[in-house]
Amino acid sequence: MAVPLDYFVILSAFLFAVGTVGVLVSRNLIVMFMSIEIMLNAANLALVAFSRRQMLMDGHVFVFLVMTVAAAEAAVGLAIIISLFRNRESINADQLDLMKW
């Protein structure tokens, strides 16, 4: 490939930044959660790129495990969102402020 490695890494950085901004900016929980998934993906991309450079397969296994964990996390997180929605009829993250002083 004639594509240099850092292009992939820079792309991963961009994706990560987008995910971060998404988490902070949006008010509703669904988009927040999806932004987290974007961030996870960006990390995966970087991992694969570096694994390609090192010629080691460890990065791929790492990505495998990360995705598994992401799946588990998504399942539990959605369950939480469901019970929250049941109680409050809203997915506005700003309304979850019972832990304030």
DSSP, collapsed to helix, strand or coil, labels residue 28 as: strand
Region class of 41: left (phi > 0), else alpha (psi between -120 and 50), else beta: alpha
The answer to the question of residue 94 lying near another protein (CB under 8 A) is yes
- Residues 39 and 13: their CA atoms lie apart, in Å, by 9
Closest distance of CB 82 from another protein, Å: 5
- The CA distance from 96 to 27, in Å, is 11
Using CB under 8 A, which residues numbered 47 to 66 contact another protein?
A: 48-49, 51-53, 55, 57-58, 60-61, 63-65
The nearest distance, CB 97 to another protein, in angstroms, is 3
- Interaction with another protein in 13-52: which residues (CB under 8 A)? 13-28, 30-35, 37-38, 41, 44-45, 48-49, 51-52
